[in-house]
Amino acid sequence: MEISMQSTKTGGRCLRTFRAAAPLPLCAALMLYASTAAAHNVTEGDAGYIQEIWGVNLIPFTYLGAKHMVTGYDHILFLLGVVFFLYRRKDVGIYVSIFAFGHSATMLAGVWFGWSVNAYVVDAIIGLSVVYKALDNLGAYQRWFGVQPNTKAATLIFGLFHGTGLATKILDYDIASEGLLPNLLAFNVGVEIGQVLALSAILIVMGYWRRSPTFLQQAYTANVVMMMLGFILAGYQITGFFVA
């Protein structure tokens, strides 16, 4: 049976068993994290460094890629949603690989070909990707429409948007053309390293959390909070689009 169906059924049980669950430390941590981090942004110091160097700089760009992934809360929230109801390592590997392929392809192509995409629009879609996955985890699409979207296809599509969002930020800075391709590849390797680190932390926490007898009740609250954060991210970007 498809993992998406298992995930949806589990999410459906979560909906039926919810009885005003207690506040979760994880939810509070996510709210704090979202209020202090910056999606896809390159810090001022890193931006200055990127603009000053030239030639092949594999280690610095690998570090910058890993740093971006670990501090990119939109990526982390989406990854959390993707693996929330995946219990087998094989399934986690498949879905994370699909997401990694998507965001790697558009990040590399976007920077290399200089795609001109409005960053606010892309980041709003990325925020909505978090909303989509939270609703999927809650079994909302089957309850509302009687259908289950293809979770693998959705993960790939949103991965493409995540990579495009990253490319738009990198293009804000004039990276030297000399050594551009190896530097971009090194940055992407860093992103994947950061993704593995973030995913490892998520899976460790989820492994302990799932042993709790109240996991399904708390899972409902966590996904509702995740959905709210996604709407906040999207709303912030939409507002920026109209006032910028």
Which strand (E) or helix (H) includes residue 31?
helix 25-36
pTM, two decimals, is 0.80
Read off the pLDDT band of 29 (50, 70, 90). very low
pLDDT digits 0-9 by tens, 60-95: 889 988 988 888 888 899 999 999 999 999 999 999
234 to each of 80, 103, 193, 242, how far by Cα in Å?
18, 19, 27, 13
Q: 10 Å Cβ neighbour count for 181?
A: 12
Nearest alpha-carbon partner for 14 in 154, 136, 150: 136
Mean pLDDT estimate for the chain:
82
pLDDT digits 0-9 by tens, 87-135: 999 999 999 999 999 999 999 999 999 887 898 999 999 999 999 999 9
Check whether 186 has a pLDDT greater than 80.
yes
Domain ranges of the chain: 3-243
Read off the pLDDT band of 45 (50, 70, 90). low
Indicate the burial class of 62 (C-beta count within 10 angstroms; 0-12, 13-18, 19 or more): buried
Instruction: Give me the DSSP letters along 65-85.
Output: HHHHHHH-HHHHHHHHHHHTT
Torsion 30-32-35-37 (CA) sign: negative
Nearest alpha-carbon partner for 188 in 158, 167, 171: 167
pLDDT digits 0-9 by tens, 136-179: 999 999 999 999 999 999 999 999 999 998 898 888 777 777 88
